[in-house]
Amino acid sequence: MTHITHVLADKLTSLSWMMATAESCTGGLIASQCTDLPGSSRWFDRGLVTYSNAAKTELLGVEPSLIAAHGAVSEEVARAMALGAIYRTQARAAVSVTGIAGPDGGSDAKPVGTVWFGWCIGGLVYSECRLFTGNRQDVRQASCVHALQGLIQRLPMAA
């Protein structure tokens, strides 16, 4: 994980960009990985842990009707979370994660391990769903890695 964080730090620093996280099922794990790196204050603005639906609405501006219509674990909510993080921070890049880490809470339509990701990079929003296996910690760790790798892949090259 440290290698991923170093690569992310280098890319964001070369762009002179800050990033933010909007996390649900990872509970701040992504922000923790970022801030474990010395000097992260140069490229990491803040992390918002929005575990409850109310927190998603209050801190990120996710419309309650969006959550009611699609569920908290959905593409629509992941995208809204990423946008909300951009609108409410100094960041130019944001990643959001909302999912079902388990061991319970899943359904046929959204089994345990279902995780939606959102990335907002320079005003463009990307989203993706993954299904991870393993226990709760495995799902959370895999989500963290995927979120950071996805951010790295989507960042522009420095000028």
Structure tokens belonging to residue 84: 């909300």
- pLDDT of res. 157: 85
93-126 exposure pattern, b = at least 16 Cβ within 10 A, e = fewer: bbbbbbbbbbeeebeeebebbbbbbbbbbeeebb
Residue type, 134: G
pLDDT at position 47, please? Answer: 98
Distance CA 112, CA 104 (A): 7
Mean pLDDT, the chain, integer: 96
Tokens of 60: 């990120």
Query: In terms of DSSP bridges, do strands 124-131 and 93-99 run parallel, antiparallel, or are they unpaired?
Result: unpaired
In whole angstroms, what is the distance from residue 37 CA to residue 108 CA?
39
Q: Which pTM value belongs to this model?
A: 0.97
Segment 6-18, tens digit of pLDDT? 999 999 999 999 9
* Percent above pLDDT 70 for the chain: 99
pLDDT of 55-68, one tens digit each?
999 999 999 999 99
Residue 69 has a CB neighbour count (10 Å cut-off) of 11
Segment 105-151, tens digit of pLDDT? 999 999 999 999 999 998 899 999 999 999 999 999 999 999 999 99
Tens of pLDDT along 69-81? 999 999 999 999 9
Q: Please check whether residue 156 is in contact with residue 11, taking contact to mean a CB–CB distance below 8 angstroms.
A: no
Q: Is the pLDDT of residue 159 over 70?
A: no
**Structure letter (DSSP) for residue 132:** -
Question: Per CATH, which fold does 2-154 belong to?
Answer: Maf protein (3.90.950)
Residue 144, C-beta contacts closer than 8 angstroms, at least 6 positions apart:
1, 26, 29, 30, 33, 97
